[in-house]
Amino acid sequence: MKRLTLHGRIRSCRILVGESFQNLDSYCPRDETLLVTDRRVFGLHLPLFSGWRVLFIGRGEGAKTLAVVEGLLEEFLRRGADRRTTIAAVGGGVVCDVAGLAASLYMRGLRLGLVPTTLLAQVDAAVGGKNGVNFEGYKNLLGTFRQPDFVLTDPAFLTTLPRREIRNGLAEIVKAAVISDGGMVRFLEKNAARALALEPDVMAGLVERSLRTKIRVVESDEFEGGPRRLLNFGHTLGHALEKAGSYSHGQAVAVGMSAAARLSAGMGFIPRGEADRLLRLLRSLGLPTSAGKAGRKALAALAKDKKRSGTDIQFVFLQDALGRAAARPISLGDLKEALRAVC
């Protein structure tokens, strides 16, 4: 087990990388904790939940609503939650986001622990202090910034994940590497097959290294005025693709990163060979690199979505080589045209 710390302006978050869920009660006593999970995670790991008080929310993106948050808040009250209570979310990004928002609102903030059970949530969603729900069709439109008190990542959860979920997480691991860690890109290139096979040593190293990147970026820009934008690499088109349906988050981000890399090469920010390198890496991890018809549909949605923020939008490009990125303004027209050419 490795302990990392994300130093937030108000509170710091302890990140217990590779800790066992069995030790959860040393971070939050059972009688002062409410676990939040969904029925699928509960069903897969039934024995783990014994002796804990458990609250349930629905599964999937559809549960990311204010109504679900309100339901949790009612349940907190019914169970007598007060300033001594810890809310511990056990699940994927949706469970962490919804429980995190509810915990941040109740009595202006209860103690919060996150136990991400998907690779995606372990390397990305659970760390950084953002929570949120969707609103009127807009992804994560409502939420707060609040660092959890601790995040516990237990590799045992990863063994029950479907292959698609593993690839989702690998896409975000690739993202962490290409925006700021050239050495990690090379490590991934050499170890793609071992990563896909969830080899414990390889995964432990990748999770820890992704988290170190995320911690570094978040610490430099906790409330997202600048550098934190780099974490959106591949996500501008990615979110639009995900919303248009048929792609998982990781697949959508993989296509988004591919398009952004091609665009970066097309505009002369990186050599074309570097973009090709990223596409090869993504393919070796079983991730898609182009979208076709779904891509065109997503572009139309993107244009609608971004219209509100005026003409120029901030877009994350690769810079010089894999391992560096930079946000630059680009007009929506130019972006659409460039993306259409590479989709």
Task: Please give the helix or strand (H or E) that residue 194 lies within, else none.
Answer: helix 182-196
CA-angle at 326, arms to 322 and 328, nearest 5°: 135
Question: Contacting a second copy (CB under 8 A), which of 16, 105, 177, 291?
Answer: 105
Do 247 and 258 form a contact (C-beta atoms < 8 A)?
Answer: no
Residue length, the chain?
343
Stretch that binds a second copy, among 25-33, 70-78, 159-167, 196-204 (CB under 8 A): 70-78
Q: Which of 71/295 has CB closer to a second copy?
A: 71
Question: Contacting a second copy (CB under 8 A), which of 93, 143, 250, 288?
Answer: 143
Q: What is the CA radius of gyration of the chain?
A: 20
Give buried/exposed letters for 224-263 (b at 16+ CB in 10 A, else e): eeebbbbbbbbbbbbbbbbbbeebbbbbbbbbbbbbbbbb
Would you give the end-to-end CA distance of the chain in angstroms?
42
Question: Contacting a second copy (CB under 8 A), which of 33, 37, 86, 104?
Answer: 104
Q: Report the nearest approach of a second copy to the CB of residue 87 (Å).
A: 14
By CB under 8 A, residue 109 contacts a second copy: yes
By CB under 8 A, residue 303 contacts a second copy: no
By CB under 8 A, residue 301 contacts a second copy: no
Q: Report the nearest approach of a second copy to the CB of residue 136 (Å).
A: 6
Three-class secondary structure of residue 88 per DSSP: strand
Do 229 and 327 form a contact (C-beta atoms < 8 A)?
Answer: yes
Q: Report the nearest approach of a second copy to the CB of residue 254 (Å).
A: 26
Q: Which of 104/118 has CB closer to a second copy?
A: 104
By CB under 8 A, residue 141 contacts a second copy: yes
Instruction: Identify residues 73-92 at the interface with a second copy (CB under 8 A).
Output: 73-74, 77, 80, 82-83
How far is it, in rounded angstroms, from Cα 136 to Cα 149?
30
By CB under 8 A, residue 54 contacts a second copy: no
Do 288 and 239 form a contact (C-beta atoms < 8 A)?
Answer: no
Q: Which of 142/279 has CB closer to a second copy?
A: 142
Binding-site ranges for a second copy (CB under 8 A): 9-10, 66, 70, 73-74, 77, 80, 82-83, 104-109, 130, 132, 135-136, 138, 141-145, 223-224, 308-309
